[in-house]
Structure 1
Amino acid sequence: MNLRVGFELVFSCSQPIPMLLMLNTHSSHVDDVIEPDRLQIDPPIPLTQYHDSFGNLCSRLITPSYGYLTLSTEALLNVPDRPEEPAAENYQSPVEHLPDECMQFLLGSRYCETDLLSNTAWALFGGTPQGRPRVQAICDYVHRHIAFDYQQARPTRTAHEAYQERVGVCRDYAHLAVALCRATNIPARYCSGYISDVGLPPPYAPMDFCAWFEAYLGDRWQTFDPRNNAPRTGRVLMARGRDATDVALSNAFGPAVLVKFKVVCEPGG
């Protein structure tokens, strides 16, 4: 299935501001690309790029001194035309047998306070079977525990606060599930990107960027989505890291205000 993804972001600028952006599809989709997502900048200004320690493509620029900065892109990818299927490897490795790369994803981070949630995690899930059944039990719990509400979104809400407040958006679902997995010795990392509505009945909510997570089971990272908590068709990764701190779409080191936001993720030719 051909899937068209893209966005248009418009910032209001009052002075030159350095920005760090994470707006491209992840390199893991390189074999899926039909039309690449080259970042368009208006007005044209210099851009440099690098890959961070998590393998995410990052862009750097300095905004105009005054006026508006528009960032946009569009890509066409060939993705599976069927819902996601779980991998066969379901077992949970003992901590001492985990690859070195997994160890940082067992630790607490800015938005995932494993220390505050450890007792809760073991009380809720210590009796569940290890591996995929435990991760799915965590997803089921988070899906029920948090009420989705755009109007109560807050960029500083942590996993522990989401647990207490029982409300949030997709990043809060992901943060809480990540923290509960880590607290029960399952490596988990936060992911951001696009998710299509293919196969879902209308009405459709306005398209937005989405958050989910990956847990290390068997010998691979596997996708879990506590917000939707069901297999989806058309999921496209942009970035992954310890939590939302590592995958922020934009970091402005000064007063750059987002005034327009549009996201596209739909079947296309």
Structure 2
Amino acid sequence: MRFSVGCEIGYDVAESATLIFNIEAMHGGRQRVLSETLTITPKIAADEKTSEESGNRYLRLTAPKGLVQLRYAAEIELDPLHQAPAKLDEVPIATLPLETLPFLNPSRYCPSDQLARFATRQFGSIEPGFGRVVEICNWINAEVDYLSGTSDTTTTAADTFSLRAGVCRDFAHLGITFCRALGIPARFVSCYAWQLEPQDFHAVFEAYLGDRWYLFDPTRMAALDGMVRIGCGRDAADTAFATIYGQVLPQPIKVWSEAIDGDKNEEWTTDAVSVVRE
């Protein structure tokens, strides 16, 4: 299925500032970028780099004083892989691919060591595999309220666990934290999300099961099949859509994700979806 995705971002720059963006859709595997445009106003020279490790696409520019605006638009084709849940087992740490091992460790927003005792008590008796990750998502969805304004850039999964409230990034961080505490590699994913209302940048997570990464969304706010991946990393610190060095005043953000073929009114409910590079 094909999707039209993109965003418009603006900043009123008080003095010269360096801005680093991660807003462009990732290339590879079951996600194909068919076309894309990036417009910067005023015209400013920018450095672009794709991380060989993560596939994240970074854009860096130095903006002069005044208003700077970016508009990114792309047409994306998704061919998500669906698997029967029974086939998705947890992988013993002794046989995990080495590149997944960093996603077992605590990170800035995912202190899995701090919540390990609760994770073991709450989820440790559940049969390992896909079902256990689903139960983690079920618990988060039931026990944590989705409330805008309840968290900020300093909020960790431990804070969310205590507050029992947050937004999509907090839900994702908590899911990652519980998975890692149980020995399941998990990583943060930023995306454009079809059927998300209201539209915004969305955050989900991936758990490594079987022989690849699979998407999970504890918020249950968007279709897994329609998530266009922007970036992935240990947590939100690796995938922020904008990192600012300097004094700026953010302008309203516009984000969109629309289906441009197939049944646009179809509501997809999927148990396990993978769109990562193979």
TM-score strictly above 0.5:
yes
CA positional deviation for 1:74:
0.8
CA positional deviation for 1:87:
5.0
User: CA 1:8–1:176 in 2, change beyond 3 Å: closer, same or farther?
Assistant: same
8 A Cα contact 1:84 1:231, kept in partner: no
CA positional deviation for 1:229:
7.2
Matched, 1:165 2:163: yes
CA positional deviation for 1:103:
0.6
Q: After TM superposition, list the pairs within 5 Å mapping 1:239-254 onto structure 2.
A: 239-254=231-246
Could you tell me how far apart the structure 1 residues matched to 2:146 and 2:213 are? 26
CA positional deviation for 1:29:
6.1
- Structure 2, gaps ≥5 residues long: 262-278
TM-score, scaled relative to structure 1: 0.91
8 A Cα contact 1:17 1:256, kept in partner: yes
Matched, 1:225 2:217: yes
Q: Which residue matches 1:189? A: 187
Q: Which residue matches 1:200? A: none
Deviating above 4 A after TM superposition, structure 1's stretches of 4 or more consecutive aligned residues are none
Secondary structure of 2:16's aligned partner: coil
The one-letter code of the counterpart of 1:183 is A
Q: After TM superposition, list the pairs within 5 Å mapping 1:1-269 onto structure 2.
A: 1-28=1-28, 32-36=32-36, 38-52=37-51, 53-64=53-64, 66-79=65-78, 85-86=82-83, 89-197=87-195, 205-228=197-220, 231-268=223-260
Q: Give CA-to-partner distance per residue, 1:177-200, whole Å, 9 cap, x none.
A: 000000000000000011111xxx
TM-score, scaled relative to structure 2: 0.88
How many residues align? The count is 259
- Structure 1, gaps ≥5 residues long: 198-203
CA positional deviation for 1:153:
3.5
Q: Give CA-to-partner distance per residue, 1:80-110, whole Å, 9 cap, x none.
A: 5xx9844553111111111110110000000
CA positional deviation for 1:31:
5.7
CA positional deviation for 1:206:
2.2
The one-letter code of the counterpart of 2:11 is F
8 A Cα contact 1:26 1:239, kept in partner: yes
8 A Cα contact 1:19 1:251, kept in partner: yes
CA positional deviation for 1:239:
0.3
Q: Give CA-to-partner distance per residue, 1:144-199, whole Å, 9 cap, x none.
A: 111001132422211010011000000000000000000000000000011111xx
Superposition RMSD in Å: 1.9
Could you tell me how far apart the structure 2 residues matched to 1:196 and 1:230 are? 6
